[in-house]
Structures are given as C-alpha cells and as structure tokens.
A and B are shown apart, each in its own frame.
Chain A
C-alpha cells in the first residue's frame, strides 16, 4: 500500500512515473477522509489546492525534474502561515485569519515540490502537552482513541502515525515535536535553535521556538529537514551557517560514538519504562558505540525555569492580538479598553490566558528580578551543564517522556501536573540544542520514545545515530491497528 512506503520509496515511484503525484495525493486525501473525523487531526483540509499542487509536481516530473520531495504530500501544523489559507494556530482568536503570506518553512517545502494536504490540529498557540487546549477540540491518539496524542504538535503526530501523510511539520518550544512523536510511535526532529527559519511561524516563546518535522523514520525526516534548514534573512535569529547533507550523513558508521546516559532522566522513572532505554543502549553498544553515565545537576530546575521564561515571552508575543488589526473582535465594545479586554478574554482559551497572566506576573514591577531574571540565571547554569557534558560525550540519551500516552481529560484541570510531562524535553529548548525522538518499544500497548540530544548544529550526527538504531530495530515500522 502506498501509505506504508517510505518517502524514498515514494520518490522512486514518482521519479519512474510508476505513480503520479495526483494519484498519491488522492490516496492520502481518501485516508484523511476516512480517518480524520475520528482522530480530529486536521483543522483545515486543502484538497483542491493539493490536487493543483500535485498536478504541478507531475508537470515538473514530466519535464525530467527530480528531487527527494518532488510530488510528496505533507500536512503543515496550523502554526505556519499559508498564503490564502486559514491559519488558526488552534485558537478562536485566529479562527477567521487568512494568512497573507507563506512562512519560510512553507515556501521552502513548496519549492522542493511537496503537496500540502491540509493544516494539522494543535494545542492553542502551541501551549499544551496533550492537544486538549485546541479551540477545535482534542486530537485522539491512533494507538488508542481514549488517549491523548501529546502536544502541542498532536495533530501532526497523529496524522503521521495514522499514515494520513508521509511527512508532517511541527514546532517544538518545550518538547512539542518530540513528546507527541514519542506518544504516537513516530519519529520527531527538533533542530538547533536558529537552524530553521521562524519567519511566518506564529510566535509563542521566541528564544525557544523551533520548527521541525515528524515522520515514520529518520530516513524520511532527513530530506524534509534538508529542505527546511538554512539561513533566512527574514528571521533575525536565523543562523548563517552551512547545512550538511543530512541524507548522506545517515550512512556514517556509529563505531566509536560516545553516548552519555543522562542520570537525572532516570530518577523516579518506572522500571519497565527505563528498561526500554537500557535495551536501546544495548543496541548502540552492539553497533560499536561506547556509553557512560553523565550528570546534568541543574536539569531538575528546567521545568520551573521554562515555566517562567516561556510565559514571559508568550505574554509579550501575544500582546499583538488586540482585536484591531486581525483576529477575533468582541461584539459591541463600549470603549477601546473594553475592546482589548473582551476580544482577548473571549478569543483566548483558558491555558493561553493562564500563561499570559503567569508571564505578565513574572515580568511585573517587584517580581521581575525574583522570577524572570532568576530564571534566566538558572537557564545559564543548565546551558553550562550541557556544555560540560558534551566535552565528554558526542550525544546524550534518555527517555522522551516519563510515561506513555495518558487518558484524555486526566490532567487538563491541573496545569502543574500537565507541565511535568515536559520534564525530559525542556532542557534541549532552554539550551537551544537539537533533539530527536525515536520509537523504542511499548508499555501497555502504547509506544514509548527514546530521546537523543546533541550539541548545537549536530543534526547530522543525531540523524545518523537515529537511522542506525532504526536499521537495527523495527519499532518505527509498527502501525496502530486499523491504520496499516
């Protein structure tokens, strides 16, 4: 079946004209039609546009053009602006917002010949770890419809796991690619801060946000990351550094790779969850890697640090939603202050309002030093811990999440419990490091994720290590029942 083929296999069939991009697009649109209503993975379907893009890709293929993504369908997280297409960011605030331009990620993937099928559901403004904060309702996990798919890129993860598209885009501010990838048995790459342009990606926390990709394997993700990565003058934090050939990097040997097992990631971790990580470590040892335990003593402070820094940046970024220039406006405002307050009060959901208020509080007079500056100081200690660790090892390994997917509704009323889902993923965001989540086994029939974290701009090394693991294991090939 076409939906079980890898991106490389699909590209071969497209290049040999055995299958057309229009046929491939129709195949995935039919799967979306069949499965998406129950999963609630998409906010907007762009079928007509997809078929037009596919026809254009077929013309390019007909002219002899070739490329690893030419004619390949994908789904964009609804945080990326798409010219002429609603870009809601999962919020009532932007329910009526038609983006007037394309995000750089969208432009680049379009130039590579990808076909956008639609826009994926997500936690509102990417604030959430379960996809339950979306204005459009929760996304269901294809492995068990009573479970969350993780968040905030939950629609992207569910769509990739259910084979509604070979590739989906995501963003990761505190784990929002890696955590849903882990909970849905997919592969998720969060690049180095500055590696992929943030232009046209609706801002949540500007010093942490980074775009990446979810797929069924590292080999599938590599060409997508290749197309997305690289300097963009339109993003002032984009880094002007050469981008290695990620697909070529997959073939490098793993012999001699030094892997650090993160001691702090195993404190309190349930034994059967920890056992999966130790099994993965054995795979790496058989592939010729050496392993040692390393410690990041300040890592336990990463969650409270994040929940000061991220809300502070969010309260500033979301001040642009004023009910005047775009987005939701309340009915019959009696003055300008009423317009601001009710447009924002009615347009934002509860979690977004909690974070805006937390951020406003930690930045307010009298609390700025005690919370915001304090968190920035602790952030430096965490960054220094990672730097010290990378003088001893090439990459770090641990679980992506403490547990597999939890029940829909289980944590939504308790923000702090929900925030602790991100305990293993937030460190990489605070330090701007690239991270990768790989399926590494099952607990109670639900997938678990193995996380690799590397030094800045080591995506090639991470992808190579992830690919090596996937050549030696078949966890990433498992499909949820009913979606094979």
Chain B
C-alpha cells in the first residue's frame, strides 16, 4: 500500500510536526515502504487471539496511597522552560 502526499500531510498535522515541501516526498516514500513492510502482518492468522499489551502475565497497574510524596520544585522544573513569567509557562496568545 502506498501513501499519498495528502495522507502524509494529514499524519504530520495529527502528529503536530511541520514538514517542509522539500521533505514531504522523502517522507511519502519512506512511510510507504514502512507501511508496506508492516503489512506483512496481515498474512498471520490471528482469529481468536486476544491483543497483548503487556509482556508479563498477571501484572496490573498499582495504585499508590493518596499522600504527598514530592515537595514543591516548580522553580527547578521551570528552569528548563523556554519562557516563564510569574511561575507560569508563556505561549503565544490563544484567546483574542
């Protein structure tokens, strides 16, 4: 199966990735060959086989006690942010 330019543009939008006009044909070709490759899976019979999400049997998500485990480190964490003011992350205006 081959993907079109429109397919790849739509995927890039869903993935929030800017792709330049020059790069687009390269991704169309690479993603088409990857999709063709994984299409081999359709040849494996899987009727009555349940999907498996976790490699270990019987493991389930643990819940921890609802107790304070971390102290306030927001200044340390926000030191990595591109733009911060008054403890808030700054982004371009969203609401006019």
Contact = CB atoms under 8 A, between A and B. Distances in A.
Interface of A: 96-98, 100, 192-194, 207-208, 233, 236-237, 239, 298, 301, 303-305, 307-308, 315, 319, 322-329, 333-342, 344-346, 348, 350, 353-354, 356-358, 360-362, 364, 370-371, 373-381, 383, 414-416, 419, 429-433, 456
Contact of B80 (A319, A327, A414): A327
Contacts of A335: 92-94
B87 interface: no
Interface of B: 3, 7-8, 11-19, 26-27, 30-31, 33-35, 37-42, 44, 46, 49-56, 59, 61-62, 64, 73, 76-77, 79-83, 89, 91-94
Contact of B12 (A338, A357, A377, A433): A357
Contacts of B79: 98, 100
B22 to A, nearest CB: 12
A338 B92 CA distance: 9
A416 B33 contact: yes
Contacts of B16: 319, 322, 337, 340-341, 344
Given A322-B16, A333-B92, A376-B53, 11 more contacts: A97-B80, A100-B73, A239-B56, A303-B37, A304-B38, A304-B40, A305-B41, A371-B41, A378-B44, A381-B49, A415-B33
B89 A307 contact: no
A307 B37 contact: yes
A406 to B, nearest CB: 19
Contact of B38 (A237, A371, A414): A371
- Among the interface residues A322, A370, A378, which one has the most CB atoms of the partner chain B within 10 A? A378
Contact of A415 (B8, B34, B80): B34
A356 B37 contact: no
Contacts of A308: 38, 41
Given A325-B89, A341-B17, A193 B56 contact: yes
B30 A431 contact: no
Contacts of A207: 53-55
A379 B61 CA distance: 20
A324 B81 contact: yes
Contacts of A339: 91-92
B51 A377 contact: yes
A259 B13 CA distance: 50
Given A239-B59, A340-B16, A344-B18, A377 B49 contact: yes
Contact of A325 (B17, B52, B81): B81
